[in-house]
């Protein structure tokens, strides 16, 4: 029960670290609390709403009553399964904008600018684009594909954006994020391609990595403050000869740090935990993306609602099971957009997912027959929340509060999202398909009514991050240094979305895997050479919104 390295969490970041360390000849133990990812609900892309709502695959976390959302309690799914949240997410692949990572570097995460992280995004990708691109990788373990966009509503959405005056983008993960275009996904040959497929299984196949099933209670240390291993809830102890790497999610990683005596000293004292390193930033800086589902009734029976009946779902499932084709082979997020909310913003701050059905994200109810919807939300909220211990018992769930909509700019930005979306959906491209707006409804137009709708209907996009922020070693609120090393102790690193200084544009699986790739190189004492490709920016951003 010992190895050179112990990695806590077999998700996006942890699996990437495991493969790279194993390839370099190191022995690795990967500790995962969840079970197998083999099963149709995880493997079938079209079934994405099921695993994130199944206690078998999800930690089942829920927020504290959110004070600025009328006390609503929101779900906070995190993968408790092989592959982590990459096994229960929506499979959308977004790197983030180049300026997101330049901001990381400017805020103290030196060596994490876009030129530094681009080689790692390329190393991890097996991109199946139509033509070679200097921005994309083709030899990596993570398959990245595009949907067929067979439903005419996908093209209608992209065309409507162009008619509204927005640019098109051939590759939002390449030179130009801004614009309307085709969404990319971690789907390969009709199946979800998770971090378990891309990284964990190849790591185990080397014979130098081993999977240990169990839940970690705390990190163990020697007298000289060096991490020596972990203790599991069942009492087993695993020993690390070199280092321990936490990749347990932005919810569980700060929990484990605090249970191990690393965190805000006053909070640890509340739970009779002796502080090993007083790091007030542990559990703070929690961020997420919120989004609204703006829904529209369709005039034609061309939406996914035609499969909503039991026979329809059975047909989709059977076709996928035997052929890996049909609606079940897609996550149905095949068109998207990144736009700027107003003039004076230099890169996109609003993201769209388009879906050819009007349905709740958990898949439990449709709006009113045939319909479609846009998921829209601001990308860089100024609100910040926290993760705290409920008790000193490892078995107890942590307390989570995102403090959603606590900054006044959030309300302004969401009103802009609704009004800009209405303009886009009012373009000629949607005339053959759009009957009326279901929600919020055309009658809701004043700020007060929009705010009420936002407060009642805004939902998490399930992108928590930032709770063990990366920064300079002398920054009192930083938790890890730019090599992922926990400040104040030795032999302990973090390699998941906890380290993000600020949330990047878009979905978080891609940057989480990138963090695992890059932290692995820091562990191994090597580094890919920076690539200075300049991203395309709107030339008139200072004076024009589009």
Residues identified as active-site: 463
* 375-408 residues labelled b (16+ CB within 10 A) or e (exposed): bbbbbbbebebbbbbeeeebeebbbbbbbbbbee
Location of structure tokens 């529209």: 296
Q: Which helix (H) or strand (E) holds 514?
A: helix 509-524
**Whole-number Å distance between alpha carbons of 65 and 67:** 6
Length of the chain: 546
Is the Cβ–Cβ distance between 402 and 63 less than 8 Å? Answer: yes
Location of structure tokens 């705390």: 218
369: DSSP letter: S
Which of helix, strand or coil describes residue 377?
strand
H helix intervals, 277-368: 310-323
Is the Cβ–Cβ distance between 370 and 298 less than 8 Å? Answer: yes
**Whole-number Å distance between alpha carbons of 24 and 145:** 28
**Whole-number Å distance between alpha carbons of 75 and 53:** 9
Exposed, middle or buried by CB within 10 Å (0-12, 13-18, 19+), for 266? exposed
Contacts of residue 408, defined as CB under 8 A and 6 or more positions apart, other chains included, come to: none
445 φψ region: left (φ > 0), alpha (ψ -120 to 50), beta (else): alpha
């Amino acid at each position: 029960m010992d190895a050179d390295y112990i990695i806590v969490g077999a998700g996006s970041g942890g699996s990437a670290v495991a493969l790279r360390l194993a390839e370099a000849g190191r022995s690795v133990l990967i500790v995962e609390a969840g079970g197998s990812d083999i099963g149709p609900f995880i493997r079938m892309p079209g079934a994405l709403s099921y695993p994130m709502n199944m206690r078998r695959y999800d930690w089942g976390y829920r927020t504290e009553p959110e004070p600025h959302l009328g006390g609503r309690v929101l779900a906070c799914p995190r993968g408790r399964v092989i592959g982590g949240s990459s096994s229960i997410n929506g499979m959308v692949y977004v790197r983030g904008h180049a300026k997101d990572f330049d901001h990381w570097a400017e805020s103290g995460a030196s060596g994490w600018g876009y030129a530094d992280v681009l080689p790692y995004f390329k190393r991890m990708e097996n991109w199946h684009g139509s033509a070679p691109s200097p921005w994309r990788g083709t030899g990596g373990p993570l398959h990245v594909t595009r949907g067929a966009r067979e439903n005419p509503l996908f093209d209608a959405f992209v065309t409507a954006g162009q008619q509204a005056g927005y640019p098109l983008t051939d590759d939002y993960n390449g030179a130009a994020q801004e614009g309307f275009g085709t969404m990319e996904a971690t789907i390969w040959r009709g199946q979800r391609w998770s971090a378990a497929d891309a990284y964990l299984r190849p790591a185990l196949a080397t014979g130098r990595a081993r999977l240990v099933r169990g839940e970690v209670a705390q990190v163990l240390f020697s007298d000289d403050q060096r991490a020596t291993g972990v203790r599991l809830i069942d009492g087993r102890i695993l020993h690390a000869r070199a280092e321990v790497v936490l990749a347990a999610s932005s919810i569980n990683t700060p929990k484990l740090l605090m249970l191990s005596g690393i965190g805000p000293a006053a909070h640890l004292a509340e739970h009779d935990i002796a502080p090993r390193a007083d790091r007030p930033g542990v559990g703070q800086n929690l961020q997420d993306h919120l989004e609204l589902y703006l829904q529209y009734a369709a005039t034609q029976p061309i939406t996914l609602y035609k499969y909503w009946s039991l026979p329809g779902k059975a047909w989709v499932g059977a076709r996928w099971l035997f052929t890996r084709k049909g609606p079940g082979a897609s996550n149905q997020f095949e068109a998207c957009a990144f736009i700027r909310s107003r003039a004076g913003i230099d890169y996109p701050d609003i993201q769209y997912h388009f879906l050819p059905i009007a349905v709740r994200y958990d898949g439990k109810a449709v709006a009113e027959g045939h319909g479609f919807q846009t998921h829209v939300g601001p990308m860089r909220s100024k609100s910040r929340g926290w993760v705290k211990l409920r008790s000193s018992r490892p078995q107890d769930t942590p307390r989570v509060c995102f403090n959603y909509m606590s900054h006044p700019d959030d309300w302004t930005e969401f009103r802009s999202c609704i009004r800009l979306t209405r303009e886009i959906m009012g373009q000629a491209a949607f005339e053959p398909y759009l009957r009326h707006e279901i929600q919020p409804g055309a009658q809701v137009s004043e700020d007060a009514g929009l705010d009420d709708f936002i407060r009642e209907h805004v939902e998490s996009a399930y992108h928590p991050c930032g709770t063990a922020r990366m920064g300079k070693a002398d920054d009192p609120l930083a938790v890890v240094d730019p090599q992922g090393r926990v400040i104040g102790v030795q032999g302990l690193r973090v390699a998941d979305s906890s380290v993000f200084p600020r949330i990047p544009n878009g979905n978080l699986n891609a940057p989480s895997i990138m963090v695992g790739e890059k932290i692995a190189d820091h562990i191994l004492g090597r580094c890919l050479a920076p690539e200075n490709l300049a991203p395309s920016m709107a030339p008139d951003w200072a004076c024009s919104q589009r």
